């Protein structure tokens, strides 16, 4: 996996392909590589949809190996939603396949001078780019079916739906799962719009004839991987909770903690939470012949995904994740799992971030475009986006734009990106992450829920400002490093509680690459990535004043705890003082 594949979509005479060694980017993968390329090669003040921006798609350092949990893909660019640097992360098969094909990154550069649409086909024997305007405005599911008919069912696809083609700021990049369905998404930040601006509809990957990437020390790698898996399997979250009920196991937990944002972040409890909980969802999936435990890519041992069937027992979508169930459920006052699953399907099909769209629909409901709890109206609003109506393009631009257009003061966003499924007043640590993340409000950037609510890696009182700066800082550093390995972020639950499992991960990296990394090396990697990202943002015009929550989180108490966000601005400014 030592090559970068550069595809210049703006070359005279049509797109050009160049393969080059990693060079100065050697030793980086995943988020570390996407952020390094974007920070070095993209002008920070460029327009995100211009030819100057680049879309970087990178598997992790351990992707394509026999290492468990190593199939995460990073997609990076300057975000059209936030204006900051962006890395969006996805599961599915493409990361493993791309790595086995020998590529550390695909870099889409430039911009075509015509309105033609292209597909990229990457196989073991070479790369082709073909013009294919028959694909215009195809939804993701139809697109993948067409690719299967043309290239067989041994492929993996990275694609955009109509939202990406329309360059909407809530557009995602879809990745196919083990069933070759476009259910895994690099959702946040509008990365799909940047792929759309390059006029690449789909990247088809076929690793037929390749082999699993081989470590420099096979025996040590095998042993470390075994210890790593054992650690994941014995942890109560990664070995029991997530496999049994998926990420939606959090619904009852967060609701009981009074941190479940409901009716556009007006209260911290939802009366219908039990109807849409992970326990209820898993029971319904099994009852209808679906699957409650499923891996989104080969090599996954946590298996927190699932398959959701409709009332007739037919496939509808993957198991909606916790943030999706919250966004289109509790936040919109909807307690109908069938409706939530239907919206999830259409989000995936049109190529939209479920978190951004759920937050946007809640804002639209507050504006009077629909009533809270009206599932049919919510579905119709998603179709407005997919059809590209004037209203749809407003909604597809995200919660901040929608709030501005309709005169709504209470927009739960930071740097233009909507907050996910945890209220920062009831979980102060996640509020610090929302405010200071290099990528706008993003729970995965520093998942303080682990310690604030789940008491993993220690416990920090979620209602107090004390200790939240250190918690978020350490988690943001660790996350940046994990995002570079290609590992699923959920391994962090075990890593935080089990030093031996963390050591097993380090041993895997050392055995594979012939290195001598330590825990300090991992910390330094995380810090270096955050430093690159922050420097890009500062050059793009962001200051410490942008590292703040919307004002109403400081002034409007949320029930049931009747608390506001208490972390002081001067303390937020210390997050990156390491």
The answer to whether residue 129 scores a pLDDT higher than 90 is yes
* Residues 200 and 251 occupy one common structural domain: no
Residue 223 lies in a domain: no
The CATH number given to whatever domain includes residue 300 is 1.10.569.10
Residue 529 lies in a domain: no
**Which one of 364, 390, 422 terminates a domain?**
422
**Which one of 183, 206, 229 terminates a domain?**
206
Q: Give all strands of the β-sheet with 85-90 in edge-to-edge order.
A: 16-21, 3-8, 103-109, 55-59, 73-78, 85-90
Tell me the pLDDT band of 297, cut-offs 50, 70 and 90.
confident
* Residues 344 and 394 occupy one common structural domain: yes
**Which one of 154, 181, 206 terminates a domain?**
206
DSSP string, 267-322: BS--TTGGGGSHHHHHHHHHHTT-EEEE-SSTT-SS-BEEEEE-TTS-EEEEPPPH
Q: What is the mean pLDDT of residues 55-69?
A: 97
Residue 546 lies in a domain: no
Q: Yes or no: say if 5 and 103 are a contact pair by the CB < 8 Å rule.
A: yes
Beta-ladder partners of 102: none
Question: Containing domain of residue 252, as a range?
Answer: 247-422
Tell me the pLDDT band of 298, cut-offs 50, 70 and 90.
confident
In this structure, are strands 126-131 and 85-90 parallel, antiparallel, or unpaired? unpaired
Cα–Cα distance for residue pair 61/463, rounded to 1 Å = 37
Q: Any residues with CB less than 8 A from the CB of 368 and at least 6 apart, and which?
A: none
Closest CA to 113 of 212, 17, 29, 11: 11
The answer to whether residue 299 scores a pLDDT higher than 90 is no
3-state secondary structure 219-272: HHHHHHHHHHHHHHHHCHHHHHHHHHHCHHHHHHHHHHCCCCCECCCCECCCCC
The string of pLDDT tens digits covering residues 381-394 is: 999 999 999 999 99
pTM (2 d.p.): 0.97
* Residues 190 and 257 occupy one common structural domain: no
Residue 295 lies in a domain: yes
**CA-based end-to-end distance of the chain:** 33
- Kindly report the average pLDDT of the chain as a whole number: 97
Cα–Cα distance for residue pair 34/28, rounded to 1 Å = 9
Beta-ladder partners of 378: none
Q: Yes or no: say if 87 and 34 are a contact pair by the CB < 8 Å rule.
A: yes
Q: HSE of 442 in the Cβ direction (CA atoms, 13 Å)?
A: 28
Q: Yes or no: say if 449 and 443 are a contact pair by the CB < 8 Å rule.
A: yes
Using CA atoms of 44, 483, 58, 143 in order, give the dihedral in degrees to the nearest 10: -100
The CATH number given to whatever domain includes residue 94 is 3.60.9.10
Question: Residue 1: its pLDDT value, please?
Answer: 66
DSSP string, 351-365: TB-HHHHHHHHHHHH
Closest CA to 435 of 272, 279, 557, 550: 550
Q: What is the mean pLDDT of residues 92-117?
A: 97
In this structure, are strands 103-109 and 3-8 parallel, antiparallel, or unpaired? parallel
* Residues 195 and 253 occupy one common structural domain: no
And the tokens for 75? 């997609």
* Residues 272 and 384 occupy one common structural domain: yes
Q: What is the mean pLDDT of residues 535-550?
A: 98
Residue 269 lies in a domain: yes
Question: Residue 142: its pLDDT value, please?
Answer: 98
Q: What is the mean pLDDT of residues 548-570?
A: 97
Q: Which helix (H) or strand (E) holds 337?
A: helix 337-350
DSSP string, 81-93: TTSSEEEEEE-SS
* Residues 311 and 396 occupy one common structural domain: yes
Question: Residue 296: its pLDDT value, please?
Answer: 87
* Residues 166 and 266 occupy one common structural domain: no
Using CA atoms of 184, 189, 192, 194 in order, give the dihedral in degrees to the nearest 10: -150
Cα–Cα distance for residue pair 473/558, rounded to 1 Å = 25
Question: Residue 550: its pLDDT value, please?
Answer: 98
Closest CA to 451 of 442, 461, 441: 461
Residue 219 lies in a domain: no
The string of pLDDT tens digits covering residues 252-279 is: 999 999 999 999 999 999 999 999 999 9
* Residues 169 and 266 occupy one common structural domain: no
The string of pLDDT tens digits covering residues 16-46 is: 999 999 999 999 999 999 999 999 999 999 9
DSSP string, 55-98: EEEEE-TTTTSS-TT---EEEEEE-TTTSSEEEEEE-SSHHHHH
Q: What DSSP character marks residue 335?
A: -
Q: Residue 311's CB: how many other CB atoms inside 10 A?
A: 9
Give φ, ψ of 81 to 5 degrees.
-85, -40
Q: What is the mean pLDDT of residues 383-411?
A: 98
Residue 95 lies in a domain: yes
* Residues 128 and 261 occupy one common structural domain: no
Q: Yes or no: say if 520 and 503 are a contact pair by the CB < 8 Å rule.
A: no
Q: In whole angstroms, how far apart are CA 44 and each of 50, 112, 253, 438, 504?
A: 12, 21, 40, 13, 38
Q: What DSSP character marks residue 558?
A: B
Q: Any residues with CB less than 8 A from the CB of 15 and at least 6 apart, and which?
A: 7, 8, 9, 112, 118, 129
DSSP strands (E only) in 380-464: 413-414, 417-418
* Residues 252 and 195 occupy one common structural domain: no
The string of pLDDT tens digits covering residues 191-236 is: 999 999 999 999 999 999 999 999 999 999 999 999 999 999 999 9
The string of pLDDT tens digits covering residues 41-58 is: 999 999 999 999 999 999
Tell me the pLDDT band of 373, cut-offs 50, 70 and 90.
very high
And the tokens for 214? 């081989």
Residue 15 lies in a domain: yes
* Residues 284 and 187 occupy one common structural domain: no
* Residues 32 and 100 occupy one common structural domain: yes
Q: Yes or no: say if 119 and 200 are a contact pair by the CB < 8 Å rule.
A: yes
Q: How many independent structural domains does the chain possess? A: 2
């Amino acid at each position: 996996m030592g090559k970068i594949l550069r595809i210049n979509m703006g070359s005279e005479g049509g797109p050009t392909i160049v393969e080059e060694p990693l060079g100065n980017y050697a030793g980086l993968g995943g988020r570390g590589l996407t952020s390094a390329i974007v920070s070095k090669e993209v002008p920070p003040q460029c327009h995100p949809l211009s030819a100057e921006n680049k879309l970087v798609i990178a598997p992790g350092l351990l992707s394509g190996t026999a290492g468990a949990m190593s199939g995460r893909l990073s997609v990076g660019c300057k975000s059209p939603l936030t204006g900051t640097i962006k890395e969006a992360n996805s599961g599915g098969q493409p990361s493993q396949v791309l790595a086995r094909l020998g590529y550390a990154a695909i870099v889409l550069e430039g911009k075509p001078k015509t309105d033609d649409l292209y597909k990229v086909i990457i196989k073991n024997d070479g790369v082709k780019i073909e013009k294919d305007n028959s694909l215009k405005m195809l939804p993701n599911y139809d697109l993948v079916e067409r690719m299967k008919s043309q290239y067989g069912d041994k492929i993996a696809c990275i694609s955009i739906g109509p939202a990406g083609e329309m360059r909407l700021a809530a557009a995602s990049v879809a990745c196919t799962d083990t069933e070759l369905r476009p259910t895994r998404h690099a959702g946040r930040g509008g990365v799909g719009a940047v792929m759309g601006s390059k006029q690449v509809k789909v990247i088809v990957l076929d690793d037929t004839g390749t082999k699993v990437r081989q470590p420099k020390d096979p025996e040590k790698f095998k042993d470390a991987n075994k210890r790593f898996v054992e650690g994941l399997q014995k942890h109560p979250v990664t070995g029991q909770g997530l496999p049994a009920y998926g990420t939606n196991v959090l619904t009852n937990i967060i609701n009981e903690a009074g941190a479940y944002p409901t009716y556009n972040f007006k209260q911290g409890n939802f009366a219908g939470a039990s109807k849409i909980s992970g326990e209820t969802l898993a029971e319904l999936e099994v009852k209808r012949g679906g699957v409650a435990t499923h891996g989104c890519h080969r090599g996954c041992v946590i298996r927190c995904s699932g398959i959701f069937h409709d009332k007739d027992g037919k496939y509808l979508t993957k198991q909606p994740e916790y943030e999706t169930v919250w966004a289109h459920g509790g936040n919109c006052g909807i307690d109908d799992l069938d409706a939530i699953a239907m919206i999830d399907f259409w989000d995936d099909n049109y190529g939209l971030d479920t978190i951004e769209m759920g937050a946007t629909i809640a804002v639209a409901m507050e504006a009077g475009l629909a009533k809270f709890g009206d599932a049919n109206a919510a579905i119709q609003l998603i179709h407005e986006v997919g059809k590209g109506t004037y209203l749809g393009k407003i909604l597809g631009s995200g919660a901040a734009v929608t709030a501005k257009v309709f005169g709504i003061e209470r927009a739960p966003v930071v740097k233009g990106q909507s907050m996910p499924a945890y209220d920062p007043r009831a979980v102060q640590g996640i509020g610090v992450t929302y405010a200071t993340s290099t990528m706008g409000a993003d729970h995965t950037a520093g998942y303080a829920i682990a310690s604030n609510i789940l008491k993993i890696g220690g416990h920090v009182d979620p209602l107090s400002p004390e200790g939240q700066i250190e918690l978020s800082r350490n988690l943001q550093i660790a996350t940046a490093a994990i995002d570079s390995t290609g590992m699923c972020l959920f391994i962090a639950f075990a890593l935080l509680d089990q030093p031996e499992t963390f050591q097993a991960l380090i041993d895997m990296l050392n055995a594979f690459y012939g290195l001598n990394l330590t825990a300090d090396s991992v910390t330094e990697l995380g810090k270096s990535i955050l430093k690159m990202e922050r420097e890009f943002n500062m050059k793009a015009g962001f200051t410490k004043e942008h590292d703040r929550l919307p004002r109403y989180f400081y002034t409007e108490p949320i029930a049931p705890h009747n608390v506001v966000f208490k972390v002081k601005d001067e303390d937020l400014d210390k997050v990156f003082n390491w």
